[in-house]
Amino acid sequence: MPMTMSRARVARRIATAAAFGGGGIGLLGVAAVGVLLTEVRLARRTVGGSSDIPPCADGRYGTALGHRTDRPPLRLGFLGDSTAAGQGVHRASQTPGALLASGLAAVSELPVDFRNVALPGAQSDDLPRQVELLLADGSGAPDVCVIMIGANDVTHRMPPAQSVRHLSEAVRRLHTAGCAVVVGTCPDLGTIEPVYQPLRWVARRLSRQLAAAQTIGVIESGGRTVSLGDLLGPEFEARPRELFGPDNYHPSAEGYATAAMAVLPTLCAALGLWPEEERPEPARGEGLLPVEQAAAEAASEGGTEVTASRAPWALLKHRRRRQLPSAEPTDPSSIGR
């Protein structure tokens, strides 16, 4: 609990600095940064990198469902970094965007038009470009957007207040345009298998702190968050060979499926499609908490949702996951539109 409260206080300071245009807030001393940089050089010899172009999963999912209704398709947008783009897998159907588009179509019983503008290697300062790209196609804002961002901000040492400011502004702009927004917060970089101590401890501390600050910024800008934490489940630490891809950094197909299963309930809830009520179930560890406390607790447990309640409170939820259907696009001709 003391660690959670400390993280909550720091997260609030970062979010406040972001809101008022402040600079970076240092989370580590000079000596610790020196150790971090040394360990990063060592880790780079072991942790692979992928230069593969992620498969394009853009297109329409659940086309057959369109024959049952005269309602228009739902529109799903994806923004962020290599994890949002699906780097590390070779089939479009294995990317998180495709999995979520297919899941959203199954739950809503409507076709889903999916577009991904995420960029491998992107940091949060690329989000304004991605938002512009998503909104500039002339067909209006998507019904809902998913953003996954933050890991590169940590590894490239972007000041956390700057990182949160870019994300908050992106969420605010999408929300103002009429789009529901779900953000998968910074994953726990301490779960990367070849990263050893003390870098593992430093990476975990920095990524969880950023995730908590991101949550505060997102909630106060009109979005919801899902903690990617240790990439959405302790199985990543228990089975890293299976759930991390060949480069030991990006998730494998099984890893992306685990992540998508955790995000889908929140994605559907943002559109009013999920059967669970928008109230806490104390037996499941849910509750109404001050925003910064909810953010800190969510950062420590992957798959935890935080959504706004009456200020200054937020709702902490552990939604029940649902198995995802096949993610093959049902309208291949629409891929790449």
Structure tokens at 94: 């294995």
Which of 39, 44, 60, 116 is CA-nearest to residue 83?
116
Burial degree of 237 (CB within 10 A; 0-12, 13-18, 19+): middle
Between the alpha carbon of residue 334 and those of residues 134, 138, 228, 331, the distances in Å are 17, 17, 30, 6
- What is the C-alpha to C-alpha distance for residues 148 and 85, in angstroms, rounded to an integer? 9
**b/e code 180-199 from CB counts within 10 Å (16+ = b):** bbbbbbbbbbbbbebbeeeb
What DSSP character marks residue 28? S
Q: What is the CA radius of gyration of the chain?
A: 19
Catalytic residue flag (residue 90): no
What DSSP character marks residue 184? E
Q: Where in the chain does DSSP place strands (E)?
A: 59-61, 74-80, 112-116, 144-148, 180-184, 224-226, 287-290, 305-308, 313-317
Pairing mode, strands 112-116 and 180-184: unpaired
SS3 at position 41: helix
Active-site annotation holder among 82, 163, 252, 300: 82
Active-site annotation holder among 247, 318, 331, 334: 247
Phi, psi of 256 (to 5 degrees): -65, -35
Active-site annotation holder among 250, 252, 300, 309: 250
Please, are residues 130 and 118 in contact by the beta-carbon 8 Å criterion?
yes
Catalytic residue flag (residue 6): no
* Count of CA atoms in the C-beta half-sphere (13 A) of 67: 2
Contacts (Cβ under 8 Å, ≥6 apart) of 267: 76, 100, 103, 104, 144, 146, 182
Catalytic residue flag (residue 250): yes
* Residues marked as catalytic: 82, 247, 250
